[in-house]
C-alpha cells in the first residue's frame, strides 16, 4: 500500500489489559467503590476521547454500574493512569486535561437509558465541569446549557517556570468560543485550583462561526465566520501567555450556509449528534513547516458517478478543483472523502474508489501528484473507516481507537517504478520518493538502479534529467524554505497530457490578509510565500543560461589565445577545486568507486563547474535575504557536489552491473557487449546534461571517447565527434596515439582524430606520433605560424644555397623563404617545447609526404 500505517496506540491492546488487571485486583481485594467493577464485560463503552498536544491519550469507559471513568495513556512512559470517575450514568461529549494532570475539564449529557435523569444539574442538556483531580478537591460547573459544549486545554510552550494560569477553551454549539483563565497555586507539591476560584475570568475568542478546527500541535484555531455575505476563514494563534492573536483572514469560495455546525479535532465528539452533521461534507486545513497553507474541501455528493474536491493552495495563490470518476456503480459510496496531512503531500482517498497523493510544495503540474484508481490494489488495503489527521503524521481512527503514524511506503512506491505504468505515474512516484524518503542514499540508489535498467522507458520526460534536478534540489531544500522559488525542482516545465479518471480546473484565489506585523517561525515563512506570490513579477528559478554564455565566451577566448584577468579565471577554477574536493570527500565515506574518473585536469569541465558555483551563489545571495553568506556558499557547494555525485553514481552503477575494469582504457582489445551498454548510458547522460547545460565530472569525456573508439566503426565515430557527442580530450587522444600501432587502419583513425583537434592540443599530440603524416601536420602548422604576418622582403645573400641538395626548385625557394624568416625573426621560430621544428624539418616532411603520395 502507498501509505504505511504504524500503530502508535491501540485502545484494545494498550489500555484494555490494564483495565482488566485493575478490575481483577480490586475484585480480588473485595474493594467497594473506586475502581471496583471498573469495566463491564462487553467493553463497548471504551472509546478514545481526545489526544493532547504532548501525545497523551484520554479515553473513557463505564463500569458495570454505568459510572463513567476517565483514563489517560502516557505516550512517553507507555503507562496508563486513572484520572477520575463520575458515579453517575452519563455520556461524555468532550474531555481535556491540563499538562500537569491536575485539572480535568469534561462536558457530559444525561444518560440515554430510559428512566435515568441528569441528577447533577436537572433541566440542562449538557453540563461542563472543571474537576480538581490532583489532589481530588472539588468540582466546579462551568456551563449548564441546552446545547452541546466541547472543551480543550491549551498547552503553551514554556521555557521557564510553569505559568500561574491554565487556559481552557470552551466551544459551544451556539457558535461561540470562550477562553477561561484558571489561576493555579502550589499546594503540597501539587498544582490545584486557587482557593478564590469562584469566579473564573473568561473572554470571548470567536463567535458566529459554523466550522472550526483545532491544531493541537501548533495551538491554532481556524474557524469560518459567516457574519458577512461571504465565507471568511480566520486563524487565531494562542501564545505562551494568555494572549491570542488573529493572524489572518482569507475569503473562501465555498458555500457552508446549509452545512450545519461542524468541529474538527476537538476530540471525538458525541456519537448521538453525528446524524445532525452533513454526511459527506469534508473541510480541513493543513500546514507544514515550510510555510504552506492548504484548505481541503469536498462538498456533498451531487452525483454517484463522480466526486469533486478542491484544494486551496494559499501559499501559491491558486486553487485546484479535481473531479474524479467513481467508476463502477457496483461499489457504492458509503463513506466520505478522507484528507490526510503527509508533510509535503496531502493524501485524498475514497476507500474502494481512488487514492490521490497531492504534492503541496509543487502543485503546478498534475504529473507531480500521484492518482490511482479503485482498480489498484493499494486502494483496497487502506483503512475503510474514517481517519482524522491530527498533527504532523498522526492520524486517529475513532471507530477502532487506534492512533497511527502515517508514512509513505518506500517499498510500495519503488515497486511502482518497476511495473509498467504511464509516464505521469512514474514522474509522481519519482518526486514522492525523493521528497519523502527517510533514507535518501538508499532511495537514490534504488532509483539509479531503475534508471540503468529502464533508460528508455519514459517518453514524456528524461528520467536522468528529472532525477538529477529533483534529487539535487531536495538535498539542500531543508536548509531554507524559499528554495522552491529559487531552484528548479523538475526538468519538465509543462504537461498537457490528460490523466484518465480525473479532470482539473485551476483558478486564482484571493490571498490571506495578514493581521499582524511581526512574524516568527511558521508565520514568517507563510508571509514570505505570500509576498512571493504578490510581488514576484519574474520567474526566479535559477537556470544555466548565464553560465552557458560565459562558458562559451571563455572557451572562445582560449581558442584565440586571449584570456581575461588571470585573477578571474583563477577564482573560477578555485570554485571547481572546492567542489571536486567536496565530492571526493563524499566518496571516502561511501564505497570506493571503480569508475576511472577524476584522473585528469579537464579544464573545460572545471570552468563549467566553477562558473555554475559563481552564478548560483550570486543568484541565492540576491534573493535569500537574512541568510548568512557562509551558509549560502556551503549550500551552493553541496548542491553542485551533489549534482556531480549523482552523475558519478549513475555511471558507477552501470559500470559495476556490467563488471567493467579500468583496462577498458587501453586500445589493445575488442569492445564487449558490456562496453556497448556503458557507452550507451554515458551517451544518455551526456544528452541529459547538455540540454540543461550541467557540468560533468572531470574524466567523463575521456572515458566516453575511449569507449566510443572501442565500440563504433570509424565513420560513426567521426560522425559522433563532428556532432559534438564525443569531445576529444587531450588525455583520450594521448592514450590513442600511444596505445595504437601504425597499421593502415589505425593510421587512418589517428589522422582523422588529429585533424579534428583544436590547434593547441593538436600541436602537442602530433609530437607523440612518429609518422610522416604527423610530421606533415606539424610542418603545416609551423608554416602557417611563420607566414601569417609575412611580408615579402629582398632575398638575403647570407643564405647558404648549397645546403639544399635536392634539385626541386619550388621547394627550394619555399625553404629559402622560411629560413630567411626564421633567421630574421627568432621570436616566431618553432613551437613551444619543440626546438626541432624548423625549415629543415619542413623540407624533410614535405619530401617524405610527396614520396608517400607518389608511392615511391
DSSP code per residue over 175-204: TEEEEEEEEEEEETTEEEE-TTTTS-EEEE
Task: Pick the closest to residue 515 from 133, 235, 299, 713 (CA basis).
Answer: 235
Which single residue is written with the C-alpha cell 441528569? Answer: 118
- The answer to whether residue 435 scores a pLDDT higher than 50 is yes
The predicted model gives 84-97 an average pLDDT of: 89
pLDDT higher than threshold 70 for residue 445: yes
Residue 94 has pLDDT above 80, yes or no: yes
Phi/psi of residue 159, nearest 5 degrees:
-85, -30
CB contact at 8 A, 95 and 106: yes
How far from chain centre, in Å, is Cα 728? 37
Phi-psi region of 432 (alpha: psi -120 to 50; beta: other; left: phi over 0): alpha
Q: What is the pLDDT of residue 281?
A: 76
Q: Are 834 and 767 in contact (CB under 8 A)?
A: yes
Residue 754 has a pLDDT of 78
Cell of 602: 579537464
What does the mean pLDDT of the chain come to? Answer: 81
- Residue spans of alpha helices (H) in 590-713: 603-623, 629-657, 673-692, 700-711
Kindly tell me the burial class for residue 591, based on how many C-beta atoms sit within 10 Å of its own C-beta (0-12, 13-18, 19 or more).
exposed
The highest-confidence range among 334-338, 365-369, 477-481, by mean pLDDT, is 365-369
Q: Which residue has the higher pLDDT, 832 or 658?
A: 658
Mean pLDDT of 199-205: 88
Residue range 29-52, pLDDT digits in tens: 554 444 545 555 556 788 999 999
Q: Which of 159-163, 217-221, 400-404, 452-456 shows the lowest per-residue confidence on average (mean pLDDT)?
A: 159-163
What's the pLDDT band for 827 if we cut at 50, 70, 90? very low
* Res. 734 pLDDT band, cuts 50 70 90: confident
* Comparison of pLDDT for 535 and 96, the residue scoring more: 96
- Give residue limits of the domains in the chain: 775-856
Strand order in the sheet with 513-514: 262-264, 209-215, 220-225, 231-238, 244-252, 513-514
Distances (CA, A) of 651 to 588, 644, 657: 18, 11, 10
Q: How many helices (H) and strands (E) in the chain?
A: 21, 32
Instruction: Give the CA dihedral 252, 253, 258, 262, nearest 10 degrees.
Output: -30
Helices (H), ranges, 162-263: none
Q: Which of 108-112, 309-313, 598-602 has the lowest mean pLDDT?
A: 598-602
Residue 690 contacts by C-beta under 8 Å, 6 or more apart in sequence?
A: none
454-512: pLDDT as tens digits: 888 888 899 999 999 999 999 988 777 778 888 999 999 888 888 988 999 999 999 99
Above pLDDT 90, what percent of the chain? 34
Asked whether residue 231 carries a pLDDT value surpassing 90, the answer given is no
Higher pLDDT, 122 or 131: 131
Give the pLDDT confidence of 644-654 residue by residue, as tens digits: 999 999 999 99
Strand order across the 293-298 sheet: 282-287, 293-298, 306-313, 318-325, 502-508
Given pLDDT bands bounded at 50, 70 and 90, which one contains residue 276?
very low
Task: State pTM to two decimals.
Answer: 0.84
Q: Which residues of 200-219 are buried (b: 16+ CB within 10 A; e: fewer)?
A: eeeeebbeebbbbbbbbeeb
Q: Is 56 helix (H, G, I), strand (E, B) or coil?
A: coil
| Euclidean distance between CA atoms 429 and 98, whole angstroms | 42
pLDDT in tens, 776-785: 565 566 666 6
Which range has the worst mean pLDDT, 462-471, 549-558, 663-672? 663-672
Q: pLDDT at residue 209 above 70?
A: yes
Q: How many CA atoms lie within 13 A of 540 on its CB side?
A: 18
The whole-number pLDDT of residue 115 equals 40
On the question of pLDDT at 114 being above 50, the answer is no
Q: Tell me the β-bridge partners of 699.
A: none
CA distance 292 to 485: 13
Dihedral angle computed from the Cα positions of residues 91, 96, 101 and 103, in that order, rounded to the nearest 10 degrees: -80
Please state, for a pLDDT cut of 70, what percent of the chain lies above it.
Answer: 76
Position 49 scores a pLDDT of: 92
Averaging pLDDT over each range in 107-121, 207-221, 388-402, which range is the top one?
Answer: 207-221
C-alpha cell at 152: 480543550
Q: Please report the pLDDT score of residue 434 as a whole number.
A: 92
Cα–Cα dist 386/446, whole Å:
34
> What's the average model confidence in pLDDT over 190-212?
81
Per-residue model confidence as pLDDT tens digits over 834-852: 455 656 566 566 666 666 6
- pLDDT value of residue 381: 62
CA distance 583 to 642: 8
What's the CA angle centered on 331, arms 326 and 333, to 5 degrees? Answer: 65
Q: How far is CA 791 from CA 206, 310, 659, 787, 812, in A?
A: 96, 81, 61, 8, 19
- Which pLDDT score is estimated for 327? 65
Helices 714-722 + 744-754 axis angle, to 10? 10
Q: Which residue has the higher pLDDT, 188 or 92?
A: 92
The per-residue pLDDT for 118 is 47
pLDDT at 736: 83
Task: Report the chain's C-alpha Rg in angstroms.
Answer: 38
**Confidence label for 164 from pLDDT (cuts 50, 70 and 90):** confident
Amino acid at each position: 500500500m502507498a501509505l504505511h500505517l504504524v500503530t502508535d496506540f491501540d485502545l484494545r491492546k494498550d489500555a484494555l489489559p490494564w483495565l482488566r488487571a485493575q478490575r481483577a485486583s480490586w475484585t480480588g481485594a473485595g474493594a467497594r467503590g473506586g475502581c471496583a467493577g471498573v469495566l463491564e464485560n462487553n467493553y463497548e463503552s471504551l472509546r478514545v476521547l481526545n489526544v493532547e498536544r504532548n501525545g497523551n491519550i484520554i479515553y473513557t469507559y463505564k463500569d458495570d454500574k454505568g459510572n463513567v471513568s476517565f483514563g489517560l495513556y502516557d505516550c512517553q512512559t507507555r503507562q496508563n493512569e486513572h484520572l477520575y470517575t463520575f458515579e453517575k450514568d452519563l455520556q461524555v461529549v468532550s474531555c481535556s486535561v491540563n499538562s500537569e494532570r491536575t485539572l480535568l475539564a469534561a462536558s457530559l449529557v444525561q444518560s440515554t437509558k430510559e428512566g435515568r435523569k441528569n441528577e447533577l444539574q436537572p433541566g440542562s442538556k449538557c453540563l461542563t465541569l472543571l474537576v480538581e483531580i490532583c489532589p481530588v478537591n472539588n468540582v466546579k460547573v462551568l456551563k449548564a446549557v441546552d446545547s452541546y459544549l466541547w472543551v480543550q486545554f491549551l498547552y503553551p510552550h514554556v521555557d521557564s517556570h510553569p505559568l500561574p494560569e491554565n487556559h481552557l477553551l470552551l466551544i459551544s454549539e451556539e457558535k461561540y468560543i470562550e477562553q477561561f483563565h484558571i489561576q493555579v497555586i502550589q499546594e503540597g507539591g501539587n498544582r490545584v485550583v486557587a482557593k478564590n476560584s469562584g469566579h473564573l475570568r473568561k473572554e470571548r475568542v470567536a463567535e458566529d462561526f459554523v466550522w472550526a478546527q483545532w491544531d493541537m500541535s501548533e495551538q491554532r484555531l481556524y474557524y469560518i465566520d459567516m457574519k458577512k455575505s461571504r465565507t471568511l476563514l480566520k486563524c487565531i494563534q494562542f501564545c505562551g501567555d494568555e494572549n491570542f492573536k488573529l493572524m489572518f483572514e482569507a475569503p473562501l469560495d465555498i458555500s457552508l450556509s446549509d452545512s450545519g455546525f461542524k468541529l474538527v479535532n476537538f476530540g471525538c465528539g458525541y456519537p448521538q449528534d453525528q446524524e445532525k452533521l452533513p454526511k459527506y461534507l469534508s473541510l480541513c486545513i493543513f500546514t507544514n513547516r515550510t510555510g504552506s497553507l492548504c484548505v481541503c474541501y469536498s462538498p456533498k455528493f451531487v452525483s454517484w458517478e463522480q466526486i469533486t474536491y478542491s484544494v486551496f493552495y494559499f501559499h501559491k495563490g491558486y486553487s485546484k478543483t479535481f473531479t474524479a470518476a467513481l467508476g463502477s456503480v457496483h461499489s457504492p459510496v458509503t463513506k466520505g472523502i478522507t484528507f490526510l496531512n503527509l508533510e509535503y503531500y496531502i493524501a485524498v482517498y475514497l476507500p474502494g474508489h481512488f487514492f490521490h497523493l497531492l504534492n503541496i510544495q509543487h502543485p503546478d503540474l498534475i504529473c507531480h501528484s500521484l492518482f490511482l484508481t479503485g482498480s489498484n490494489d493499494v486502494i483496497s488495503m487502506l483503512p475503510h473507516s474514517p481517519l482524522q489527521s491530527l498533527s504532523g503524521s498522526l492520524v486517529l481512527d475513532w471507530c477502532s481507537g487506534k492512533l497511527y503514524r502515517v508514512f509513505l511506503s518506500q517499498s510500495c512506491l519503488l515497486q511502482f517504478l518497476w511495473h509498467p505504468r504511464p509516464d505521469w505515474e512514474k514522474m509522481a512516484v519519482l518526486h514522492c520518493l525523493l521528497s519523502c524518503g527517510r533514507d535518501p542514499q538508499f532511495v537514490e540508489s534504488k532509483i539509479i538502479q531503475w534508471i540503468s535498467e529502464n533508460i528508455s522507458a519514459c517518453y514524456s520526460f528524461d528520467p536522468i534529467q528529472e532525477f538529477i534536478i529533483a534529487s539535487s534540489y531536495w538535498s539542500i531544500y531543508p536548509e531554507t524554505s524559499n528554495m522552491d522559488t529559487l531552484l528548479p525542482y523538475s526538468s519538465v516545465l509543462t504537461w498537457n497530457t490528460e490523466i484518465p479518471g480525473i479532470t482539473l480546473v485551476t483558478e486564482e484565489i484571493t490571498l490571506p490578509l495578514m493581521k499582524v506585523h511581526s512574524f516568527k517561525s511558521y508565520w514568517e515563512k507563510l508571509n514570505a510565500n505570500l509576498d512571493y506570490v504578490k510581488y514576484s513579477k519574474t520567474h526566479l528559478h535559477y537556470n544555466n543560461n548565464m553560465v552557458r554564455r560565459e562558458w562559451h565566451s571563455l572557451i572562445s577566448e582560449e581558442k584565440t589565445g586571449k584570456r581575461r584577468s588571470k585573477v578571474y579565471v583563477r577564482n573560477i577554477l578555485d570554485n571547481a577545486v572546492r567542489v571536486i574536493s567536496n565530492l571526493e570527500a563524499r566518496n571516502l565515506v561511501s564505497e570506493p568507486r571503480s569508475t576511472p574518473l577524476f584522473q585528469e585536469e579537464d579544464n573545460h569541465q572545471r570552468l563549467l563547474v566553477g562558473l555554475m558555483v559563481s552564478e548560483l551563489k550570486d543568484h541565492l545571495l540576491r534573493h535569500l535575504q537574512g541568510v548568512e553568506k557562509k551558509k549560502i556558499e556551503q549550500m551552493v557547494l553541496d548542491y553542485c557536489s551533489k549534482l556531480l555525485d549523482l552523475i558519478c553514481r549513475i555511471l558507477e552503477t552501470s559500470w559495476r552491473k556490467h563488471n567493467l575494469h579500468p583496462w577498458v582504457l587501453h586500445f589493445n582489445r575488442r569492445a564487449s557487449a558490456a562496453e556497448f551498454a556503458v557507452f550507451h548510458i554515458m551517451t544518455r547522460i551526456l544528452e541529459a546534461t547538455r540540454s540543461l547545460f550541467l557540468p560533468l565530472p572531470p574524466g567523463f569525456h575521456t572515458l566516453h571517447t575511449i569507449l566510443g573508439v572501442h565500440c563504433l566503426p570509424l565513420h560513426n565515430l567521426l560522425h559522433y565527434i563532428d556532432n559534438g557527442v564525443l569531445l576529444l580530450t587531450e588525455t583520450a587522444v594521448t592514450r590513442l596515439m600511444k596505445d595504437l600501432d601504425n597499421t593502415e587502419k589505425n593510421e587512418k583513425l589517428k589522422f582523422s582524430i588529429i585533424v579534428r583537434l583544436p590547434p593547441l592540443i593538436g600541436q602537442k599530440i602530433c609530437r607523440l606520433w612518429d609518422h610522416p603524416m604527423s610530421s606533415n601536420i606539424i610542418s603545416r602548422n609551423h608554416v602557417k605560424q611563420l607566414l601569417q604576418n609575412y611580408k615579402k622582403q629582398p632575398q638575403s645573400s647570407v643564405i647558404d644555397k648549397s645546403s639544399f641538395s635536392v634539385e626541386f626548385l619550388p621547394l627550394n625557394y619555399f625553404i629559402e623563404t622560411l629560413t630567411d624568416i626564421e633567421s630574421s625573426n627568432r621570436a616566431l621560430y618553432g613551437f613551444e617545447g619543440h626546438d626541432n621544428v624548423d625549415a629543415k624539418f619542413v623540407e624533410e616532411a614535405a619530401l617524405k609526404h610527396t614520396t608517400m603520395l607518389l608511392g615511391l
